[in-house]
Structure 1
Amino acid sequence: MKRRILALLFALLATQLGSLISPAYACGCGAMVPDGMSRIGVDREVSAVRWDGRAEQIVMRFTVGGDAKRAAWIMPVPGRATVELGDDRVFRDLAWLIRPERKARTYFWPRDSDWPFSSGSSDGATAAPPGAGAPAVGVVGREQLGDFDVARLTATDPDALRDWLESNGFKLPDRLATELKPYVDQKWEYVAVRLAPKEQGKPLRGELDPLKIRFDSDKLVYPMRLSRLARTPQSLGLYILADHRMEPSSPIGGAAPEVTFAGTVAPEGAVGELTGGKPAFLTAIDQRFPEPSRIDGDHELRAAPADTPYRRAVYHDELLTVGDGIPVWLLTVIGALAAMAGAVTAAFVSLRIRRRRATA
């Protein structure tokens, strides 16, 4: 078993025996290539990663657009992998776990929507701010999973890998072989996927079925190097379920990763199945890659210095009131007016007393 950990994989592919041009897009987990002169783009990539220090499980889902009716995709993995269909509910459950905390934030003076300016009320919401054998290419396994035709491969030569993929319907650009060479040198393996559409002739659009990959590894790695081939900005979202808060060791050429949630969770449902029913520390990370060509390696994730929790907050602005909803500002104004009236009355009484004394 290889001693490096992988992260994610997703898949979108197709059976196309025609020639392909250089990829219109690549995704954060590997290389994706459309057929012919068509185009395909990843609007959003979301991945859930479970790592217990010994093995990694990745569930990936892409939302794609474009006019491609077929596409090919390959993902390097650091060890022998198993592949199965993922549970789409995992992303719904994770979105619920990281939902923002609602907090009330009061203000003193009335606003346009408050009495006496208006009889209505309004809410203000702001958010504060996841070893090859003797043959050049070996087929470890091949299976049909829903819409996906998945091949698990080993390779000692990037050109041989490319040739095998092309002979089996995975027509990939020549320059992809260059980007694959570092993985070949490290003796990584590959998951190659092609999409077998249910409805022939329709373009690949919307959310694709998630795939789940598992392999042994003592390090958490998220393959990103192949995303250097992308022609448009890339967006990566990671949900990491581990024993501690996790963080990328470097931005690898992208914008600074943004943590959108960090905290211990006791998940149920699909996420609970991913963690084996055990509590885990969930770290949700978003990252953008405005210039994919600057990506200089794979994400290596490590434990953060401390398991500091973080949760976004959505503030509900409310007029400060007391009792049965009486505005504090109104009581303050009434009190101030009463005090002024009292002072005026006292001054008037004092003036009358002085006049009486003066005429006595």
Structure 2
Amino acid sequence: MAMRKALLLDPRCFQAGFQLLFLAYGCAVLDWPVSPAHCAASIGGCLLFQWSFESLRRRQFLSLAPKSFAGWGFSVLISALSLCLLLRTNSWSISLLAAFLTVASKYLFRINGRHIFNPSAFGIVSVLLLGNVAWLSPGQWGSGTVLFFAILTLGTIVVTRVQKLDVSLAFIAGYAGLMAWRQLWVLGWPADYFLHTLGTGSLLLFTFFMISDPRTTPAHPAVRIAWGFAVGAAAFYLQAFKWWYNTPLYMLLLFAPLVPLLDRLFPARHFQWQPASLAFLQRFKKIPMLFQSRKTIAALLLLVFGAEQAAAFCGFYVSKADGTLKNKTSQVILVRDGNQNVITMYNNFKGAPGEFAMVVPVPVVLRENDIRVVDPQIFQTLNDYSGPRLVEYYDSDPCRPQILEDQMVYEKAPVAMGAVKETGVRIEAQYLVGEYDILILSAKQSAGLYSWLRENGYRIPAGAAEVLEPYIKSNLKFFVARVNEKELKKLKNNFLRPLQISFNSPKFMLPIRLGMANGDGDQDLLVYAFTRNGRVECTNYRTAEMPTGQQIPLFVQRDFNRFYGAAFARKWQREGRAVALLEYAWDVSPHNYMKCDPCTGTAPSAQDLVQAGVRWLQDGQENTADVFFTRLHFRYNRHDFPQDLVFQATPNRASFQARYVM
């Protein structure tokens, strides 16, 4: 009884319990692809290595009894659960390596009997720096209101019990405070844009469960507050201006060596784990009474698991005064190689080619050789090969199984783009590319874009003015394309070809908020993404896999498009709407002969991939270079997607395709 009471009074017991709750929520509700092998290697490895190191330090084998475990096992269990929550890898051996580095850092880097680095942060960052073996998924939590308040409340309990709420609040002041200043005051984004940045589970977990570690923060309260603010400010700068990912973790490690120096300059009593008084637990005595009612339990489950989280284009179209133009479904090819970006745009909209212009924000002034037109067939090729498919297995010859396959085919439509007349806006560059007249407007002068459109009889779509100003303040340029009627007549089919632009930038994103101005309700966007290493995923929205391998009735074959549309809508609603749904992911390198399972169509050739923007296959490298293909399907609107799409290339090379079996 006394042992049970001691465990309940240990703050680390609360922290480990909350982390287990978050892990269960992620796996059961958010469908995290966390393998049992990863969790087993992380937790088992941390406990084994901690027991081994501590036994060597004490020169005797540690007891595994509960009383002894409370002394050496609780802290490392918290670190192990952090690895399970944050780190992602396809190999259990990398999970085991991260566990070893996590524990080893506590014994190898010590000053005055205290370890310098936050153990889990050290283990995570170390394996990230090894190369393409692990990654973090900051968008895995989504930004649901229920989850936000749950982590905020539980985190406050934890840091209050270890008396480190000051460093958590200081970090939030440095990071979120400066982010609010930039996004709301400087750039002029609406409030929901900023709240989406703040309301991510990864940021809140770091704030309340990692930076608040009492062993690796300064002892003096005032110094601790200044140190926490500095970590937040540095993380803000690198994310906002350098487009680094996961900056709080890196800055926590970078600032950790300052803690011993600060403790020496500003001495104070160091933190010691102390059992809390029973008075704290008295506050929770009445909680079990709330669960005596079945209705109360049902209501709470509905609140937690049923609450909602609070095809399109990366620009907008400008129609004539009386014109109407709606952008409902679009397809975009993204190619990322280091900081080199290639974007190919193919859009499904309604309107006459001579009645509108296309405006797309870009980070740099594009040169003429950065702009190309490509054959629209490349989109059909990619869609046919990666689209969701209906598979029927049958044996006409028992010795020779065959496969019949239908695919989800999206409506084909030519791209129509409009005209831009001479303006008073400063033009940085002007080109004729294929059937398009191209203008690059200076970002500093592009405030005149609004006046020019009005003066020339064009109306900016409703809602465009709201998001145009932040792009201008972000010093972006504006890529404007119009149709050259004379060049268009030279084409055999009179169809406009997709435009492809390339530029060098650390930003890996699509500015969809500007495209919402042309949207009529929900819009669909298909993203075909190519990298050298592995899957592409969103960093500011969740990425979830479509259901696959399900058995369906035979009659579905007659109307598979309708069936898949309903399946997609159901999955989209179930995942909280603010989600990217994965439909295909595979290594499509020319030297890899297994690009799907099953396959009946022709895979994209090396020539197709080069046309899509995979430039590293040029110069005879098709036999050695790697290409990974990811297909993401978005359905978004202004309410569910307050921010532009931000992506990252991960080393995740797990294959996937949405298929349904009869």
Among 584, 603, 608, which residue is 1:270 paired with?
Answer: 608
Q: Which amino acid aligns with 1:235?
A: D
Is the contact between residue 247 and residue 303 of structure 1 (CA under 8 Å) also seen in structure 2?
yes
Is the contact between residue 100 and residue 312 of structure 1 (CA under 8 Å) also seen in structure 2?
yes
Q: Deviations over 1:243-301 (max 9, x none)?
A: 22011123399542111110111242232342132431110011112x33543121110
Shifted more, 206-215 versus 163-172: the winner is 163-172
Q: 1:304/1:98 Cα in 2 relative to 1: closer, same or farther (>3 Å)?
A: same
Alignment of 1:12-23 (within 5 A): none
Report SS of the residue matched to 1:292.
coil
Is 1:72 aligned to residue 357 of structure 2?
Answer: yes
Is 1:176 aligned to residue 523 of structure 2?
Answer: no
1:249 aligns to what?
Answer: 539
Output the CA distance in 1 between the equivalents of 2:629 and 2:456.
39
Is 1:212 aligned to residue 500 of structure 2?
Answer: yes
Q: 1:248/1:207 Cα in 2 relative to 1: closer, same or farther (>3 Å)?
A: farther
2:483 aligns to what?
Answer: 195
Report SS of the residue matched to 2:468.
helix
Higher helix share: 2
Sequence identity (%): 22
Output the CA distance in 2 between the equivalents of 1:104 and 1:36.
51
Number of corresponding residues: 267
Is the contact between residue 63 and residue 207 of structure 1 (CA under 8 Å) also seen in structure 2?
no
Q: Which amino acid aligns with 1:283?
A: T
Is 1:88 aligned to residue 376 of structure 2?
Answer: yes
Output the CA distance in 2 between the equivalents of 1:199 and 1:158.
27
Output the CA distance in 1 between the equivalents of 2:321 and 2:455.
16
Output the CA distance in 2 between the equivalents of 1:104 and 1:174.
47
1:148 aligns to what?
Answer: 436
Report SS of the residue matched to 2:579.
coil
Q: 1:155/1:166 Cα in 2 relative to 1: closer, same or farther (>3 Å)?
A: farther
Q: CA deviation at 1:70?
A: 0.5
Q: Which is bigger in relative contact order (C-alpha 8 A, separation at least 6)?
A: 1
Q: Higher Cα Rg: structure 1 or 2?
A: 1
1:284 aligns to what?
Answer: 631
1:349 aligns to what?
Answer: none
Is the contact between residue 441 and residue 479 of structure 2 (CA under 8 Å) also seen in structure 1?
yes
Q: CA deviation at 1:145?
A: 2.7
Q: Which amino acid aligns with 2:580?
A: P
Output the CA distance in 2 between the equivalents of 1:184 and 1:249.
23
Report SS of the residue matched to 2:432.
strand
Q: CA deviation at 1:27?
A: 4.6
Output the CA distance in 2 between the equivalents of 1:89 and 1:213.
17
Shifted more, 274-283 versus 167-176: the winner is 167-176
Report SS of the residue matched to 2:497.
coil
Output the CA distance in 2 between the equivalents of 1:146 and 1:218.
28
Output the CA distance in 1 between the equivalents of 2:373 and 2:242.
25
Q: CA deviation at 1:146?
A: 3.4
Alignment of 1:11-90 (within 5 A): 27-66=312-351, 69-81=354-366, 82-90=370-378
**Which structure 2 residue ranges, 5 or more long, are not aligned?**
1-240, 245-310, 396-402, 409-423, 489-493, 543-575, 590-604, 618-624
Output the CA distance in 1 between the equivalents of 2:436 and 2:377.
19
Q: Deviations over 1:44-66 (max 9, x none)?
A: 21111111012111111112224
Output the CA distance in 2 between the equivalents of 1:249 and 1:303.
10
Q: Deviations over 1:110-165 (max 9, x none)?
A: xxxxxxxxxxxxx997989xxxxxxx954221123333221111222553232345
Q: CA deviation at 1:96?
A: 4.3
TM, length-normalised to structure 2: 0.36
Q: CA deviation at 1:198?
A: 6.1
Is the contact between residue 125 and residue 314 of structure 1 (CA under 8 Å) also seen in structure 2?
no
Q: 1:198/1:40 Cα in 2 relative to 1: closer, same or farther (>3 Å)?
A: farther
Is the contact between residue 45 and residue 237 of structure 1 (CA under 8 Å) also seen in structure 2?
yes
Output the CA distance in 2 between the equivalents of 1:254 and 1:126.
27
Q: CA deviation at 1:98?
A: 1.9
Q: CA deviation at 1:199?
A: 11
Among 645, 649, 652, which residue is 1:299 paired with?
Answer: 645
Q: CA deviation at 1:228?
A: 3.7
Supply the RMSD in Å over aligned alpha carbons: 3.7
Q: CA deviation at 1:71?
A: 1.0
Is the contact between residue 29 and residue 222 of structure 1 (CA under 8 Å) also seen in structure 2?
yes
Q: Deviations over 1:159-188 (max 9, x none)?
A: 323234556776535863441111112111
1:310 aligns to what?
Answer: 656
1:237 aligns to what?
Answer: 526
Alignment of 1:98-113 (within 5 A): 98=386, 105=393
Q: CA deviation at 1:34?
A: 1.9
Output the CA distance in 2 between the equivalents of 1:57 and 1:307.
21
